[in-house]
């Protein structure tokens, strides 16, 4: 940990530096506020000891400049001439603590230690936030992904219930997170609850919480996921696997905003936005009395569909790049280069598990493949090649629409193979460059 000491008294600077270096800190000093701010350009301080009364720039002014540049820095104010007003102002501005002269050296060591630990926690929280934002990104600029983002943008500001549907591995949780982050509840909890991952007999106690003695082993009461999500968002993943009993209680939460813990008659009020997701056909489950129709209609206020990977293969290059970055960081491995023809080969593979399966494939390559450049032949044989007819998927389009769709995808692949160079691509396809440019414009393909 690095400590910067800013004080106009040389004896204090030297004394503080000596005792803190004995504690294992790396220290630098400055004689006034301006010098201290200049020092920060070359010294990555974590904690700053800052005197209030100094020439050229007083400590409170320097404090404002320091925290404006880096709000995570922990600044401890020190002074022998300050009143309560200056101490209050310093704390309100963002100072970690305020020490009075003559300084108690044991207290200085304790305060600096607390500030250093707080700095570590702040930096760790910052790293975790960045990591979550990277992992929860929706990757791709294809029409299906643009449509998905637009839907999220429209629904996020409201408190409307959302039902996210799509195949496994298509990013339903990412959509729920994006809705939460773009809503007025973004600074409140986002709590995920997966009914399929918990034994049926524990679903209600985990979701609604329980009181002491509610069942064998309940030695003390515990909040459920619903209470943890109060004020924020509760994401009910795989809602189709929830028991009918739990469904009826969730319905009450949606209708009346209240519930009881397991083993209690006390009613709790709750304000949590409900977002549900499933890969199952809920309409069929309703018809078979496996899912409550009233709950289905309550949840299905705004339906959102996550596209399967086969419906946006043009995003493959971006997905591979993103998943590669995650693999490099998570597995602590060196980067690899996926050749353009390898990206094209991946577009021609079937991924029943969608992006999640693609992620597993990328990680497998990083672990097992020693080459730096990944060619099509380096792809694991476990992936399945598409049949010629698989391109036409399940949706029904007119012949004209399908032809246009095929032309767009074909030209996108060819452009990628030739480095997005229109001239080289036209030559390879035996086309005049002007004709190719016109076709690209007609199909809405941007370079």
The CATH architecture that domain 396-443 belongs to is Orthogonal Bundle (1.10)
Q: What is the pLDDT of residue 289?
A: 94
Could you tell me the sign of the dihedral formed by the alpha carbons of 50, 54, 55, 57, in that order? positive
Give the CATH number of domain 143-307: 3.40.50.300
Numbered ranges of CATH 3.40.50.2300 in the chain: 2-132
Give the CATH number of domain 2-132: 3.40.50.2300
Q: What is the pLDDT of residue 81?
A: 67
Q: Are 142 and 314 in contact (CB under 8 A)?
A: yes
Fold of 310-390: Helicase, Ruva Protein; domain 3 (1.10.8)
Numbered ranges of CATH 1.10.10.60 in the chain: 396-443
Q: What is the mean pLDDT for each group of 10 consecutive residues in the chain (447 residues)?
A: 92 93 93 91 92 85 91 89 75 89 91 94 82 85 94 95 95 96 94 87 87 80 90 94 90 90 86 94 94 94 94 93 93 94 88 93 94 91 50 57 78 78 88 90 83
Q: What is the pLDDT of residue 91?
A: 86
Neighbours of 264 (CB within 10 A): 16
Numbered ranges of CATH 1.10.8.60 in the chain: 310-390
Concatenated DSSP letters of 70-118? -TT-EEEEEESS--HHHHHHHHHHT-SEEEESSP-HHHHHHHHHHHHHH
């Amino acid at each position: 940990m690095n400590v910067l000491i800013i004080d106009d008294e040389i004896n204090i600077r030297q004394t503080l530096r000596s005792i803190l270096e004995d504690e294992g800190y790396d220290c630098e000093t400055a004689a006034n506020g301006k010098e201290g701010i200049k020092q920060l350009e070359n010294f990555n301080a974590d904690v700053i000891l800052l005197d209030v009364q100094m020439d050229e720039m007083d400590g409170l002014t320097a404090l404002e400049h320091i925290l404006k540049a880096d709000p995570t820095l922990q600044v401890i104010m020190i002074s022998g001439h300050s009143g309560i007003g200056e101490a209050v102002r310093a704390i309100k501005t963002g100072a970690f603590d305020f020490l009075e002269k003559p300084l108690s050296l044991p207290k200085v060591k304790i305060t600096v230690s607390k500030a250093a630990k707080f700095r570590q926690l702040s930096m760790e929280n910052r790293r975790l936030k960045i990591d979550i934002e990277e992992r929860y990104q929706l990757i791709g600029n294809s029409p299906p992904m643009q449509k998905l983002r637009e839907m999220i943008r429209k629904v996020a500001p409201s408190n409307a219930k959302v039902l996210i549907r799509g195949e496994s591995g298509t990013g339903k949780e990412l959509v729920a997170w994006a809705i939460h982050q773009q809503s007025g509840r973004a600074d409140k909890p986002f709590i995920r609850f997966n009914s399929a991952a918990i034994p049926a007999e524990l679903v209600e106690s985990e979701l609604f919480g329980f009181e002491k003695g509610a069942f064998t082993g309940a030695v003390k009461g515990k909040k459920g996921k619903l209470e943890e999500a109060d004020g924020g968002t509760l994401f009910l993943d795989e809602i189709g696997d929830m028991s009918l009993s739990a469904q009826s209680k969730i319905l009450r939460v949606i209708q009346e905003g209240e519930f009881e813990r397991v083993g209690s008659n006390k009613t709790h009020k709750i304000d949590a936005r409900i977002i549900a997701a499933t890969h199952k056909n809920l309409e069929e489950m309703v018809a078979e009395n496996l899912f409550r129709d009233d709950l289905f209609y309550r949840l299905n206020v705004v339906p959102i569909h996550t596209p399967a990977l086969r419906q946006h293969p043009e995003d493959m290059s971006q997905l591979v790049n993103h998943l590669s970055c995650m693999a490099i960081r998570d597995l602590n491995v060196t980067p690899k280069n996926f050749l353009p023809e390898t990206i094209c080969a991946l577009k021609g593979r079937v991924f029943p598990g969608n992006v999640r399966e693609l992620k597993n494939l990328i990680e497998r390559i990083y672990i097992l493949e020693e080459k730096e450049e990944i060619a099509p032949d380096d792809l694991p044989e476990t992936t399945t090649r598409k049949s010629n007819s698989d391109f036409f998927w399940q949706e029904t389009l007119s012949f004209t629409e399908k032809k246009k769709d095929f032309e767009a995808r074909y030209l996108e692949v060819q452009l990628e193979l030739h480095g997005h160079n229109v001239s080289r691509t036209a030559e390879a396809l035996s086309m005049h460059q002007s004709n190719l440019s016109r076709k690209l414009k007609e199909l809405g393909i941007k370079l």
